Chain A
Amino acid sequence: MALLTFKGGIHPDDGKSLAKDKAIVELKPKGDLVYLVSQHIGAPASPIVEVGERVLKGQKIAEAGGFVSVPVYASVSGTVKAIEPHMNPTGATVNSIVVENDGEYEEAEYAPVKPLDEMSKEEILNAIGNAGVVGMGGAGFPTRVKLSPKEPDKIDYIIANCAECEPYITADYRRMMETPEKLVGGMKVVLKLFDNAKGIFGVEDNKPDCIAKLRDLTKDEPRMEVLALKTKYPQGGERQLIYATTGRAINSAMLPADAGCVVDNVETMINIYRAVVEGKPSIERAVTVSGDAVNSPGNFLAPFGMNQAEIVEAAGGFKTEPEKIISGGPMMGFAMYTLDVPVTKTSSSILCLTKDEVAANEPTACINCGRCVDACPSRLIPSRLADYAEHHDEAAFTAHEGLECMECGSCSFVCPAKRQLKQAIGSMRKIALANRKKK
């Protein structure tokens, strides 16, 4: 059988060998922990602790600020030192609860859990929402909301996004190798919510060991299937993954649920499992520290709120001074000018690169070669869209479907003229979307 995939995309050097074989190491932070009240899409959480108060690991310190919001939990025990704004990995300033770690890791008492078979759908959803689970692949959308579509009976597929198509990142890979039963357990929980759905694990074929492990674990699960996907970026893009696994195509105006699909990534599935089956809140995640500037690249289980500089220290610090540090993958991650930011629910990776390839490549004139057209998974003409964007021609930009861009960056990657195509298109998209809302 031909491998499942989508049309377009790129094949960057994957850099995964740096950290692929390093088992996840649990980290115990030393410094203060900074809990941003907004690590998700939606209303910020509201703090429910006061300065000077002692908190326990796993204790709720901020309550969800609305339906599309999630609570925040402490990941260590200690004293609330301050409630003040702090910078997040994207450079924005967000209100935060700062906890001074007492190093005891005294854990809060969790409410006892019911066996999954005895839980109602409402109870499962509440457990997920209450645990503060969000989409941990990068978007940070509250999972409880995602799992509550208007017509749950019309959901045909629950897709676990096990593609991990971003170069360098191996956190999901290690999770699948080390605790695949929790991933499958998470899928079991989600399938309980959707009676007509089938569970699919979509894994890129550069991870044959994961495919074998998951196939073995799900061989007695009639509602689950493991599908091997072609290794290609952005195979883990939501629209590409849905198309590759189900043959259904959605555009920017549609949600996966409109095509009868719900997509959650590996870390999210594991947090769903922890929330519902173990009754534990979302307080930590697997983070890959990699790149040629790091002494010993590896994978770590990092508590939310832990300073990212401390995590890099845990990976042996820098062997050479990095020129660029990226939160997330090199294709869609954010460049950070400082490491003095906390780990959040969506921090999948800290990538430290000796050389900044963007600065090293001066943009030149477009030669109309069409490589961006071949690479664009949304079937757009990125070079033209970037021209419209640079000329502030919003009408032409929208007419040529610029809003369909999902900002995967494949066009900028392949461009031989080294134009900042995605940057130009992305900026214009923001303007066009904002203007559309105004109308």
Chain B
Amino acid sequence: MSENKFKISSSPHIRSKVTSSNIMLMVTIALLPASAFGVWNFGLPALGMLITTTLAAVLTEYIYEKLMHKKITVNDFSAVVTGLLLGLNMPPTAPYWMGALGSVFGILVVKQLFGGLGQNFMNPALGARCFLLISFTGQMTTFIYDGVSGPTPLAMLKDGQAVDSMSMLMGRIPGTIGETSVIAIIIGAIFLILMGVIDLRIPGTYIVTFAVFVGIFGQFTKAQAGLFDPQYITSHLCGGGLMLGAWFMATDYVTSPITKKGQYVYGALLGILTGLFRLFGGSAEGVSYAIIISNLLVPLIERVTLPKPFGKGGEK
């Protein structure tokens, strides 16, 4: 029994069963309720858009890695998540080529050119969405619902008009494919929390900070909401991309702080920026820009929130 035949490696010799690809797969699964609702709400063009952006994202990653002679990583599902998220952020009436272009931009420019998975400093899906928003502002901000082109509830809210927060909660409103149904998004988020993929630190701080911000500053807008007007706050929470952004994009591991304290700071920053953009900015929406600006501040946030080690005054 003395032949040298056993494998050698550094300890530990056991590994947990959680892998990056099954985390990404769980995120994909968690996006399915919102996707399904979007298709039901907006019809088949929405399905076509989701398929287009997802396929384009995966293909871009595959072709880039093939051409660059890199390891093909499309089976880690991260490109699927990026593509699907971008699709959910598209207006249902936008042309498919626009969605495909967004996916190529997100995967190629935002993700791969910066080194691929784990190296991008900005959420690829949001980077792509903002690229499209700037390039094709008209098509990206036109929302046709039930054959009628009209303002989103968020835009009405900004304009000081009354909105129906019950239908906003359900999602029977105009908007991007995946952002309208708070209930569908929350179902996915609860799944991710139960599976241990995300926790409440970032989305919780984000939503609470944002609610407090609009609760206080709503009175200085056209809406002239009262201090902490529950109807006004609820409409803001259910409107636009807040829920999708808070639960699925602000929680992106790669572009959020790794330190626990930093995650609270990041969440609070998101809440304040989103509130500023929505109440006092030029557009009714502010989630995408709030997240990508906060993405850029992550290294700074981490630097000032480094934990102290155990036994050196750190958390016990």
Contact = CB atoms under 8 A, between A and B. Distances in A.
Contacts of A357: 13-15
A384 B310 contact: no
A364 B117 CA distance: 9
B118 A367 contact: yes
Contact of B2 (A309, A335, A416, A418): A309
Contacts of A367: 20, 23, 78, 117-118, 253-254
B12 A422 contact: yes
Contact of A369 (B3, B10, B11, B23): B23
B126 to A, nearest CB: 16
B2 A413 contact: no
B148 interface: no
Chain A, interface SS category: loop
B12 A331 contact: yes
Contacts of B311: 239, 249-252, 254, 378, 404
B262 to A, nearest CB: 10
Interface stretch (A21-29, A101-109, A201-209, A337-345): A337-345
A76 interface: no
A159 interface: no
Size bin of chain B's contact surface = 35 or more
Contacts of B69: none
Interface residues of A, number: 73
B312 A309 contact: no
Contacts of A281: none
Nearest to A381: B258
Contacts of A418: 15, 19
Contacts of B258: 368, 370, 373, 381, 383-384
A285 interface: no
A316 to B, nearest CB: 14
Interface string B223-256: 0000000000000000000000000000001101
B259 A359 contact: no
A167 interface: yes
Nearest to A407: B11
A315 to B, nearest CB: 13
Interface stretch (A64-72, A126-134, A184-192, A318-326): A318-326
B305 to A, nearest CB: 11
A197 to B, nearest CB: 21
Contact of B13 (A6, A247, A356): A356
B18 A426 contact: no
A362 to B, nearest CB: 10
A373 B9 contact: no
B11 A338 contact: no
Given A249-B316, A309-B1, A381-B259, A413 B309 contact: no
A370 B253 contact: yes
A420 interface: yes
Contact of A325 (B6, B12, B20): B6
B7 A379 contact: no
Nearest to A233: B12
Interface string A274-286: 0000000000000
B302 to A, nearest CB: 9
A330 interface: yes
A333 interface: yes
B12 A330 contact: yes
Contacts of A410: 12
A412 B14 CA distance: 9
Nearest to A405: B309
A358 interface: yes
Nearest to A259: B311
Given A357-B15, A367-B118, A420-B10, A404 B309 contact: yes
B14 A330 contact: yes
Contact of A324 (B13, B20, B259, B309): B13
A335 B7 contact: yes
Contacts of B8: 91, 335-337
A395 to B, nearest CB: 15
A365 B14 contact: no
B80 to A, nearest CB: 14
A413 B16 contact: yes
B43 interface: no
Interface in A374-388: 377-381, 383-384
Contacts of B7: 323-324, 335, 337, 356, 358-359
Given A167-B14, A239-B311, A407-B11, 15 more contacts: A251-B309, A326-B11, A335-B7, A340-B1, A356-B13, A359-B7, A367-B23, A370-B260, A373-B258, A379-B309, A380-B307, A404-B309, A413-B16, A416-B16, A416-B23
The 9 residue pairs across chains A and B that have the minimum distance between CB atoms: A251-B311, A409-B12, A423-B10, A365-B118, A340-B2, A404-B309, A369-B253, A379-B314, A330-B13
Interface of B: 1-16, 18-20, 22-23, 73, 76, 78, 116-119, 253-254, 256, 258-260, 306-312, 314-316
9 contacts: A243-B310, A249-B316, A330-B12, A358-B7, A358-B9, A383-B258, A409-B12, A413-B15, A420-B10
